[in-house]
Amino acid sequence: MKNFTSVNDVDNLNDWLSLADTFRNNPLHFSEIGRGKTLGLLFLNPSLRTRMSTQKAAYLLGMNVIVMNLDKDGWQLEMEDGAVMNGNAQEHVKEAARVMSQYCDVIGVRSFPGLENREEDYREPVLEALKKYATVPILSLESATRHPLQSFADVITVRNTATKSCPKVVLTWAPHPRRLPQAVPNSFVEWMKLADVELVIANPEGFDLAPEFSSGVTVTHDQQAALTGADFVYAKNWSAYEPYGKTAPELNDWQITAERMALTDNGRFMHCLPVRRNVVVADEVLDGTQSLVIEQAANRVISAQVALYKLLQHG
């Protein structure tokens, strides 16, 4: 595997899930594979779960970790070819990527979308520039349009928790006070398409995901119908694809409550966290036994461990 930035980089999902089992049973399996190797983590945006779980995974594999908080350091990167760099950007991504490739065996990067220019966000300028210019593998720590480490952890969680074959998995939009990226739902959908599940997306009118992700999936604007009989309820807010970045914090009726969960077939509740309590989901659901959010978070270490192992094998 050359890079890990979407499900398309996974050759064989069953092989990945089997490796996940290996690490679950023994976190220090392959603890020598990373000896003398360095993971560089580049944060253009804040991170708690991804930062901690990816570091933890690297340590378990014996790697060293170097963290660069570019958002805090005010280190602005130029992305355009041919730019005359007499403005604020101090360094072109060409040099940054090539230089970091001298110091790191894998480069992880987090870069959120601006949510102003859809065409630019979906072009993934930061991620694609790093993939183009780096000479070592690139690991996405959430990009403008995808969050593959989260989605793989979600697949692991569903697989380990499902009590029937081909469970019904409902991805439902939920309200939120801020404008959020589409990365988590996009990514969740493209991974679940490969898992052995019945996937349904429920979102308000005007909040359909980009066609490249939602095509082939049942989409409904009736949350209650979608939840009926569900085995897994994955709640997440996202801003609109069209008009790009639109929000609807007033749609409180889309909050996941105990009443809504009662429509499911003893369904389990999932969310990638951080979550706004009593906005996205009611306390009663998050604090109940049906909640899987901590298992999801725990699986982030395993998800990162598998991805790093695969990248190190290539290196």
For the bound state, the minimum distance from the C-beta of residue 98 to a copy of itself, rounded and expressed in Å, comes to 5
The binding track of 249-268 with respect to a copy of itself, each residue x by CB under 8 A or -, is x-------------------
Least Å from the CB of residue 28 to a copy of itself? 5
Residues pairing with 235 in the sheet: 172
Residues 6+ apart with CB under 8 A from 11: 1
Of 66 and 225, the one with the shorter C-beta distance to a copy of itself is 66
The interface with a copy of itself within residues 28-57 (CB under 8 A) comprises 28, 31, 36, 38, 40, 46, 48-49, 51-53, 55-56
What x/- string results for residues 145 through 184 when contact with a copy of itself is judged by CB under 8 A? --------------------------------x-------
| Token couple for 143 | 């990009």
Per DSSP bridges, beta strands 218-220 and 198-202 are parallel
Tokens (6 digits) for 118: 């859809």
CA angle 179, 79, 74 (to 5 degrees): 65
Please tell me the distance from the alpha carbon of residue 128 to that of residue 284, in angstroms, as a whole number. Answer: 42
**How near is the Cβ of 124 to a copy of itself at its closest, in Å?**
22
Of the candidates 59, 262, 24, the one whose C-alpha atom is nearest the C-alpha of residue 157 is 24
Q: Is 202 in a helix, a strand, or coil?
A: strand
Span 268-307, contacts to a copy of itself by CB under 8 A = 273-279, 283, 286-287, 293-294, 297-298, 300-301
Is 292 within 8 Å of 189 (Cβ atoms)? no
Question: Residues 118, 86, 110, 249: is their CA dihedral positive or negative?
Answer: negative
Rounded Cα gap, residues 132 and 101, in angstroms: 12
Residue 163 is given by DSSP the state S
Rounded Cα distance, 220 and 199, in Å: 11
Phi, psi dihedral angles at 160 (to 5 degrees)? -75, -15
The residues, any chain, with a CB within 8 Å of residue 130's CB and separated by 6 or more, are 93, 97, 107, 109, 138
Give the binding-site size for a copy of itself (rule: CB under 8 A).
62
* Residue 132 within binding range of a copy of itself, rule CB under 8 A: no
Question: Which 48-107 positions form the footprint of a copy of itself (CB under 8 A)?
Answer: 48-49, 51-53, 55-56, 59-60, 64, 66, 68-69, 72-75, 78, 81-87, 90-92, 94-96, 98-100, 102-104
CB 171 within 8 Å of CB 188: yes
Stretch 4-33: interaction string toward a copy of itself, x if CB under 8 A: -----------------------xx--x--
Name the minimum Å distance from CB 242 to a copy of itself: 25
User: Within 189-248, which residues bind a copy of itself (CB under 8 A)?
Assistant: none
Question: Which CB, 33 or 298, lies closer to a copy of itself?
Answer: 298
Closest distance of CB 2 from a copy of itself, Å: 20
Q: Which residues bind a copy of itself (CB under 8 A)?
A: 27-28, 31, 36, 38, 40, 46, 48-49, 51-53, 55-56, 59-60, 64, 66, 68-69, 72-75, 78, 81-87, 90-92, 94-96, 98-100, 102-104, 177, 249, 273-279, 283, 286-287, 293-294, 297-298, 300-301
